[in-house]
Amino acid sequence: MSAPSIRNVAIIAHVDHGKTTLVDGLLKQAGTFRTGEVVAERAMDSNDLERERGITILSKCTAVTWKGTRINIVDTPGHADFGGEVERVLGMVDCVLLLVDAYEGAMPQTRFVTQKAFEMGLSPIVVVNKIDRPGVDPHDVMDQVFELFMSLGATDKQLDFPVIYASGRQGYAIRELGQEPKDLGPMLDLIVEKVPPAEGDINAPLLMQVATLDYDDYLGYMAIGRMRNGRAKVGDRVLLAHRDGKKEEFRVQKVLGFQGLKRFELAEALAGDIVAFTGMQNLNVGETITSIAEPTILPLLKIDAPTITMNFQVNDGPFAGKEGKYVTSRNLRERLDRELKSNVALRVEETAEAGVFKVSGRGELHLSVLIETMRREGYEVCVSQPQVILMYDDKGKIQEPYEDAVIDVDEAYVGPVVSELNRRLGVMREMRPSAAGRVRLEYRIPARGLIGYRSQFMTDTRGTGVLYTQFAEYAAQGADIRTRQNGVLIASEEGMSNAYGLFYLQERGQMFIGPNVHVYAGMVVGIHQRDNDLIVNPTKSKKLTNIRTTAADEKLVPAPPADARVRARVHQRRRARRGDAGVDPPPQVDPRSQRAQAVLEEARRSRGLSRYGGGGAMVSVGFSSRVMASCTLTPELPLVSQTRLTPQFLS
């Protein structure tokens, strides 16, 4: 039995191909917003981090009504690190809108999301987006899409896909190239025509799997998912089957539906619709809500395994407890356990050391978003350097994760990019022109070779390059990656840095800090121009005497501190050079600052007596609270000490 007036569809695409912008256009086309209402751009990206970075991090549900048909739309992330968000929501829909940029064509994440959709038997509607851009070739893009579908083993039904051409930003869609553009009505008509009506038997026992969840201070947990079978209304007693085997009976307090950017109360939820229930005491993604009399428990969601891991522990640095609200290991454990409820691609394990947790995720961006969210919530935490997760084959040999990298650069910068990727053990698979004056490179490279590279890539290409990566496979572990030799400048005592002290240290190297920054003994304050570490005193002030000269005092103006991306690369390279996997004190992430502890005493450094297991100075970066007030973590994150200084620079 089907619900003829309901359509369920998900929008999937590569990162920055226009999914959320298209959803904005569909909401406006369906009359969701009143005339003259001011609506923010990318209205579905309601999270602060999403707005600052300009990417979608969490999957979200909305709905529009078009010509008497209710269309439930699921907006999904485009970045590979958030692939778990895509995997868990595809079970709610009957069709996918596959967006492909008319300029860039099929990219790595396009392949990933399409493969997941095909594995679940979903048929696509291909949307060639951004056709208003100059230099586009929609026909070539369609050839790429067809070849992609063939390589993924699409069925005849999936290969017989409808196509529509659109511009989400301009707000129009056309069935055939050359037609006069008007609005997005043709796309909504195509969805009603091609997407099969939602399936479900309203007379069968209740059955729903939780695809995502939300929390409200008044309503508590909200279980969001698709009604597979049955019906439910406020006051019904239902059964919640938890992932650990426990079962909870609860009374439905609210039944909520979606319309535009709002939720509204429903008198009754019927099979085929996407709704939210409240009333349960505990909830995790993937659990089943079913009938008490005739329970049916669905298998948990299958999510790809993580590839990157980091250690989290409480902040025990010199400035510990001065800025954060949550500073104990109990707070840290509770926060990570709460994250596991909704972040299905995350893994948290106990370690042999008390208060240290091993946190694994899909990539650096996946973990950096968690760290930045915790920082904003008031947590103080130390984290280790990211490490790839190794596996063993049948013969006992070590295997490591490899990724496919697709790079678009200007012709002038091909040389530095190729040289650096080769040094990081990358293997070029294709090199071809992508546009006038642009070159597209395709590489297969170890995942560890990409840690910390994105920031250097932006420097090498003067900010004009585009780098996309996608997990490819586990293969034999490669050789060690060569690194650059550089020492660091380490503060000798606690105090406030000043212009006088910094001015005379500039000739020693590049500084990480500016004047009026609180430093402590052992904090790394710059890059030494030579290969050895140097202990310096940035707090040194000018001694005042009664002796005066006829000449006026020189005005000392220190050079601006190094970009935060440079600071983080130094840490990653130094640790890689020494070959340790985390013997240094881990960098500290506080609500207003990020710093790193170094073993300062020469005797302890030479003997390796620090409690973290080894000598050598920490080569991370000390950030001032004045700088951190306008900083946000970036996707490459060699440690958590990497930032970009303006939200507009985030990507």
pLDDT for position 40: 63
pLDDT for position 543: 76
Confidence of residue 241 (pLDDT cuts 50, 70, 90): very high
DSSP labels, 158-223:
HHS--EEEEETTTTEEESSTTSPP--SHHHHHHHHHHSPPEE--TTSPPEEEEEEEEEETTTEEEE
Average pLDDT value for residue range 331-344: 88
The rounded Cα 71 to chain-centroid distance in angstroms is 28
Distance CA 100, CA 118 (A): 16
pLDDT for position 207: 93
Distance CA 359, CA 384 (A): 10
Neighbours of 61 (CB within 10 A): 25
Q: How far is CA 239 from CA 223, 232, 288, in A?
A: 13, 12, 8
Q: Compare 483 and 263 and report the one with higher pLDDT.
A: 263
Which CATH code fits 308-387? 3.30.70.870
Checking if the pLDDT of 604 tops 80, the result is: no
* Closest C-alpha to 56, from 32, 75, 70, 28: 75
Highest-confidence segment of 48-57, 233-242, 565-574 = 233-242
597: its two tokens: 């502890």
Torsion from C-alpha of 542, 546, 549, 550, nearest 10 degrees? 120
pLDDT for position 464: 86
pLDDT for position 49: 78
279: its two tokens: 């009333």
Is there a contact between 89 and 59 (Cβ–Cβ < 8 Å)?
yes
Which CATH code fits 488-587+594-649? 2.40.50.250
Average pLDDT value for residue range 545-564: 66
* Closest C-alpha to 634, from 560, 562, 568: 568
* Closest C-alpha to 468, from 478, 454, 455: 454
pLDDT for position 34: 64
Neighbours of 503 (CB within 10 A): 17
Q: Compare 436 and 610 and report the one with higher pLDDT.
A: 436
pLDDT for position 208: 93
HEC string for 266-283: CCEEECCCEEEEECCCCC
Confidence of residue 279 (pLDDT cuts 50, 70, 90): very high
Percent of the chain with pLDDT over 70: 81
Average pLDDT value for residue range 310-336: 86
User: Which 8-state DSSP code applies to residue 593?
Assistant: -
Domain assignments of the chain as residue spans, ordered by start: 2-198, 207-290, 308-387, 391-476, 488-587+594-649
* Closest C-alpha to 454, from 470, 442, 466: 466
Average pLDDT, the chain: 80
Checking if the pLDDT of 228 tops 70, the result is: yes
CATH topology for 207-290 is Elongation Factor Tu (Ef-tu); domain 3 (2.40.30)
End-to-end CA distance of the chain, in Å?
45
Checking if the pLDDT of 621 tops 60, the result is: no
Which CATH code fits 391-476? 3.30.70.240
Checking if the pLDDT of 55 tops 70, the result is: yes
- Give 318: exposed, middle or buried? Use CB within 10 Å, 0-12, 13-18, 19+: middle
Q: Which of 52-61, 443-452, 553-562, 574-583 has the lowest mean pLDDT?
A: 574-583
* Closest C-alpha to 619, from 483, 507, 494: 483
The rounded Cα 110 to chain-centroid distance in angstroms is 16
* Closest C-alpha to 311, from 258, 368, 349, 284: 349
CATH topology for 2-198 is Rossmann fold (3.40.50)
Tell me the pLDDT tens digit for each residue of 467-485: 888 888 899 998 888 765 6
pLDDT for position 249: 93
pTM for the full predicted model = 0.76
Distance CA 203, CA 626 (A): 61
Whether 308-387 and 391-476 share one fold: the answer is yes
Confidence of residue 563 (pLDDT cuts 50, 70, 90): low
Residues in the chain: 651
Beta-carbon contacts of residue 209 (< 8 Å; ≥ 6 apart): 91, 225, 226, 228, 286, 287, 288, 289, 298, 301
Neighbours of 233 (CB within 10 A): 12
The rounded Cα 54 to chain-centroid distance in angstroms is 11
Checking if the pLDDT of 175 tops 80, the result is: yes
pLDDT for position 191: 93
Distance CA 18, CA 99 (A): 7
Cα diameter, the chain? 98
pLDDT for position 115: 86
Checking if the pLDDT of 407 tops 80, the result is: yes
The sign of the dihedral angle between the CA atoms of 44, 48, 49, 52 is positive
The rounded Cα 418 to chain-centroid distance in angstroms is 26
Confidence of residue 309 (pLDDT cuts 50, 70, 90): very high
